[in-house]
Amino acid sequence: MIYDFDKPIERLGTDCEKWDGLKKRFGSDGMLPLWVADMDFPSPEPVVRAIAERAAHPVFGYPMRGEDYYDSFIAWEKKRWNWDVKREWCDYVPGVVCGVAAALMGFTAPGDGVLIMPPVYHPFRNTIMAQGRQVVNAPMKLENGRFEIDFDALERGAREARALILCSPHNPTGRLFSRAELEHIAEICERNGVLVISDEIHSDLVLWGKKHVPFASVSDWAREHSITLMAPSKTFNIAGLVTSIYIVPNAKLRAQMQHIVGGWMHISGGNIFGLAAARAAYAEGEEWYQQMLRYIEGNVEYLDEQLARRVPQISLIRPEATYIPLLDCRKLCEGELGMTMDELQQFMLNTVKAAMNEGTLFGIEGTGFLRINLGTQRASLEEFVRRLEKGIERLPLRF
């Protein structure tokens, strides 16, 4: 089946954070919503069908995940990344963030250091602080337009930390980590006794045929000292169905996770529609998935090329993975114009009329950057570039 990702779809009035939540988040609406990480595309047809079929039965009691649910995920991982996941390693968690929070709760204590690599997905910092743990930063370094891991900072940070929250692939830098990089991370963590909580929610969103390497697969040590979190939510655009998965090969760690998630948080029941959707997505979503990736790649190419030609003051940090890369706006923040982050955001919201996430949401390393969501129709990006070009012309200074 051929999917038409160019076809606009009305999301206003569908209880949708990205569109209906604009006013609440940014103070007004009517802007191009290029922020929160979901896509303006209908989910794969088999997913929509599976939900409709399940909805046709009018009892929505507690669900039970059958073996076919886990089999569909295990087969997907094998096919995608040649990762052999054992059935007993896997269990359900509603969201990846609450899985990260549960792991922090289970494997660290108040006052412990927890490493992150900013600029990085902001709820990591929030959950570390909310649980009374200490944030230990090992910031990524921007070198020749690409964010790189600072292994010296990571080694220094690891000496003070009990756990690392890894974001792989990395949101918002769009970095896909190589096996060598992940092995290096594993060596540092092993040397310092640091447990790895690996958020791999974006692992399927790898562009141009590159390969994701699951952290747990890089060494025996990594397998036995990691909690991996994955989900069909980004891959198939079903975040509203709150269905995710944790993979913990080490039996002792797994028992502790199960105790927290299932035992006292009591959040292991699951969502009956999420269950139907995830199973259908993994088993039958491949066609949609491949076409979606090609469309996102087209969006990346389009924006990169158009900015270089028409708005050279802003450039795209080309993502290797994810559809939510950074726009480098630092030229607007430097020199005589010298916009603050707030002024940059106000310019985007009021003049360009586009809503994006401030880079500083992900840490001070994001100063001068905005995160843009490319999971949308090409026409929205065309409109964005048009408005941006005009808006830049109206700025008081020439570049």
Ligand X SMILES: Cc1ncc(COP(=O)(O)O)c(C=O)c1O
Report the alpha-carbon distance of residue 44 to residue 295 in Å, rounded: 14
Element (H, E) at 161: strand 161-167
The nearer residue to ligand X, 11 or 49, going by C-beta atoms, is 11
Nearer to ligand X, 136 or 242 (CB): 242
Q: Return the range that interacts with ligand X (CB under 6 A); candidates 90-98, 109-117, 148-156, 331-339.
A: 90-98
121 or 215: whose CB is closer to ligand X? 121
| Residue whose C-alpha is closest to residue 313's, from 207, 233, 242, 397 | 397
| Shortest spacing between CB 393 and ligand X, in angstroms | 33
Determine the Cα–Cα distance for residues 272 and 65; give it in Å rounded to an integer: 9
Binding mask 128-167 for ligand X (x = CB under 6 A): ---------------------------------------x
Q: How far is the CB of 395 from ligand X (least distance, A)?
A: 31
Which 202-261 positions form the footprint of ligand X (CB under 6 A)? 231, 233, 239, 244
Among 40, 77, 91, 199, binds ligand X (CB under 6 A): 199
Quick one: 285 or 375, whose CB is closer to ligand X?
Answer: 375
Distances (CA, A) of 233 to 217, 219, 274: 22, 27, 9
Query: Binder to ligand X among 95, 119, 270, 325 (CB under 6 A)?
Result: 95
- Segment holding 143, helix H or strand E: strand 141-143
**Which residues make beta-bridge pairs with 167?**
199
From the CB of 108, what's the least distance to ligand X, in Å?
A: 18
Dist CA 89 CA 248 (whole Å):
5
Query: Which residues, 6+ apart, have CB-to-CB distance to 228 below 8 Å?
Result: 198, 200, 214, 215, 216, 246, 247, 248
Site for ligand X in 162-181 (CB under 6 A): 167, 171
Comparing CB distances to ligand X, the nearer of 317 and 385 is 317
Cβ-based nearer residue to ligand X, 80 or 371: 371
- Only one of the segments 95-103, 175-183, 274-282, 288-296 lies at the binding site for ligand X (rule: CB under 6 A); that segment is 95-103
Size of the site for ligand X (CB under 6 A): 13
Does position 117 interact with ligand X (CB under 6 A)? The reply is no
Query: Please, what is the angle between helix 272-284 and helix 45-55, to 10°?
Result: 150
**Tokens at 87, concatenated:** 């059935």
| Helices 151-159, 179-192: inter-axial angle, 10-degree rounding | 20
Residue with the CB atom nearest ligand X in the bound state? 95
Give me the count of residues in the chain: 399
Per CB under 6 A, which of residues 26..55 are in contact with ligand X? Answer: 37
Based on CB atoms, which residue is closest to ligand X, 97 or 102? 97
Q: To the nearest whole angstrom, how small is the minimum distance from the Cβ of residue 18 to ligand X?
A: 11
Site string for ligand X, 328-367 (x = CB under 6 A): ----------------------------------------
Least distance CB 175 / ligand X (angstroms) = 12
What is the smallest separation between the CB atom of 84 and ligand X, expressed in angstroms? 24
Alpha helices in the chain (DSSP H): 17-20, 22-26, 45-55, 67-81, 96-107, 123-130, 151-159, 179-192, 220-224, 251-258, 272-284, 286-310, 330-333, 341-346, 378-393
Residue whose C-alpha is closest to residue 261's, from 246, 271, 279: 246
Question: Considering the complex, what minimum distance in angstroms separates the CB of residue 97 from ligand X?
Answer: 3
DSSP classification of residue 396: S
Contact 198, 166 (CB under 8 A): yes
Could you tell me the two tokens for 118?
A: 């900013």
Parallel/antiparallel/unpaired status of strands 32-33 and 141-143: unpaired
Cα–Cα dist 320/297, whole Å: 10
Tell which residue, 361, 96, 377, has the closest CA to residue 239.
Answer: 96
CB of 375 to ligand X, least distance (A): 11
Residues forming the site for ligand X (CB under 6 A): 37, 95-97, 121, 167, 171, 199, 201, 231, 233, 239, 244
